[in-house]
Amino acid sequence: MNLTLRQLHLFTALARFKSITAVARHFHVTQPTVSMQMKDLAESVGLPLYEVIGKAVYLTPAGLELEDTARAMLAELEAFGQRIDDIKGFRRGKLTVAVVSTAEYFVPRLLGDFCAKYPEVEIALEVLNRNGVIQRLEHNLDDLYIMSKPPANLDVEAKAFMTNSLHVVAPAGHPLTQRKRIKHTELARYPFILRERGSGTRLACDSHFESLGFEPTVRLELGSNEAIKQAVQGGMGLAVLSEHALNAGAATGGLQILNVQSFPIHANWYTVRPNGKRPSPVAADFWRYLNVDLKKGVKL
């Protein structure tokens, strides 16, 4: 097949943006240019790669196969370029990281520390819910992933690098805030606002509640920590939130951690990547920073 790197870059962007117009805008070229390149690419493959329904682009089975292959090829070329720079004594390139939403409270700071040492490294950070991160992990779209519960059904390498304590919180002035010690069974009298099912925080909560033989009354499920904090402040119920979510944002001022028996839930944050993945030099440095240097208190 007579494929070009330019065609592969355009095609992976098309798979991402699902729009010829968006791809043209992203690469600062005309729409006819993108369409012609995609036409030539399809002719080289010998099968249609996508179809347009309404205004959206949908990949065909052949297109999906090409997307996986193209991403792998471009990632290998990027890693090769980084290894050559490494031999030359340079450290530059691109680092792509996908994290679950709660990790957005601390990951940018860690990336900032890393970039302070490697100012020529370009960072791409994706903040998604757990399902979104796992989808990217399944397609090997990033250098590494950060989540609180690694998927058990995927062949991955996962290492705990930071604690993630989960606390029961109530609005300031709630009757329970005056108590020095609360039995978890007493929480049955109060409704809870929890993260959506499938999130790492919710999985940890459900597992912990089950181990206690306790079933909370769930009034509301929300996909945002900030929304949960606002709802608790509004008196809608209690919540279980990560210490990282509680240590960030102005909304935390109206909340108070409760001293509940069997809490906090002691969990961890994990770095995750596909087993056997060969990291680029930049990705290897960041993995080592999180899993070795950070634990030892080494400053970059």
Rounded Cα distance, 137 and 174, in Å = 41
Task: Write down the pTM of the prediction.
Answer: 0.74
The per-residue pLDDT for range 219-266, each reduced to its tens digit, is 999 999 999 999 999 999 999 999 999 876 544 568 999 999 999 999
Rounded Cα distance, 229 and 254, in Å = 8
Our CA dihedral for 115, 118, 121, 124, rounded to 10 degrees, sits at -20
The per-residue pLDDT for range 132-144, each reduced to its tens digit, is 999 999 988 899 9
- Using CA atoms, how far residue 212 sits from 179, 185, 215, 236, in Å, is 21, 9, 9, 24
Q: Which domains does the chain have, with CATH numbers?
A: 5-65 (1.10.10.10), 68-161+269-296 (3.40.190.10), 164-266 (3.40.190.290)
Given a contact cutoff of 8 angstroms between Cβ atoms, the answer to whether 280 and 93 are in contact is: yes
Given a contact cutoff of 8 angstroms between Cβ atoms, the answer to whether 137 and 145 are in contact is: yes
The per-residue pLDDT for range 93-141, each reduced to its tens digit, is 889 999 999 999 999 999 998 988 888 888 999 999 999 999 999 988 8
